[in-house]
Amino acid sequence: MKTVLITGATGDVGTHLSRELAGKYKLRLSDRRPMKAPKGQTFVKADISKMSDALRITKGVDAIVHLGGYSVEGPWEAIHKANIIGCYNVFEAARRNGVKRILFPTSNHAVGFYRRDQKIDHRVYIKPDSRYGVSKVFGEALGSLYADKYGMQCFMMRIGNVGPRPIDKRRLSIWFSPRDLAQLTSIGIDHPDIKFEIVYGISGNKRAWYDNSNAYRLGYKPQDDSEVYAAEVLAAEKPSTDPIAEAHQGGVFCSAEEVPNPAAPKKKGKRK
């Protein structure tokens, strides 16, 4: 059984993924925030912006799923520390520790300034919609470098939106169910011929903006389609007041300077 490290394990995507992959791999979970590891899994607290921590958590694993980082648009200082320094540290620590395979869940926001009336594939020129998107492009470029220069096997997944169901019109196009996430991740871990690949992390959505044939070529067969939720989602959708967000695949990331961070500590207030 392969030992797989998941960084950023306390986040939404990491939580879904560790649940779906339980029993298939020996999972080592890591994050800055503490958590109680599920039965059969281990947890190691670490800050990947510190090389010493990155070296410690990547030692002795067969593959890394690098989810750790700042997950939305926000202050450059936070994005730089987590998504630039932290990402480099994980790749470099993996190289030093002899870990050959890295899965980097990049983002739809690396190409978010393509319009919604365009269908794109994995070969399009990058068009990030935010500082966050730029940091994901950096991770893709780092993967390309480490594949070519050091012979590492790098699997880049441009993730849409992971969740039990799509929550708005935009996410009908980019929804990624937890079980499809697990299937594509397993391909990234186990496929024997990975060198450097970019695929889209979405389910088999009828409304998809992405030609995901590169993922299908590697054996991906999504089980879910957001269309089963479409009528309900569209009936609840409110008219957009942001024409830039509405026109582009990246949505509000194309116009906002900051998006609420789901990982931010909740402020304690007085009870009313």
Active site residues: 132
**What are the φ/ψ torsions at residue 211 (nearest 5 degrees)?**
-85, 105
Distance CA 55, CA 95 (A): 10
Distance CA 107, CA 192 (A): 24
- Dihedral sign from CA coordinates of 222, 179, 17, 40: negative
3-class secondary structure, 252: helix
Contacts of 94 (CB under 8 A, 6+ apart): 58, 64, 102, 152
Instruction: Answer yes or no: are the C-beta atoms of 229 and 161 closer than 8 Å.
Output: no
Distance in Å from the first CA to the final CA of the chain: 52
Q: Name the burial class of residue 240, with classes exposed (0-12), middle (13-18) and buried (19+) by CB atoms within 10 angstroms of its CB.
A: middle
3-class secondary structure, 172: helix
Question: Hey, which bits of the chain come out as E strands?
Answer: 3-7, 26-31, 42-45, 63-66, 101-104, 153-159, 161-162, 175-176, 196-201
CB crowding 135-152: b at 16 or more within 10 Å, else e: bbbbbbebbeebbeeeeb
Contacts of 24 (CB under 8 A, 6+ apart): 1, 186
Tokens 């490290």 sit on residue: 5
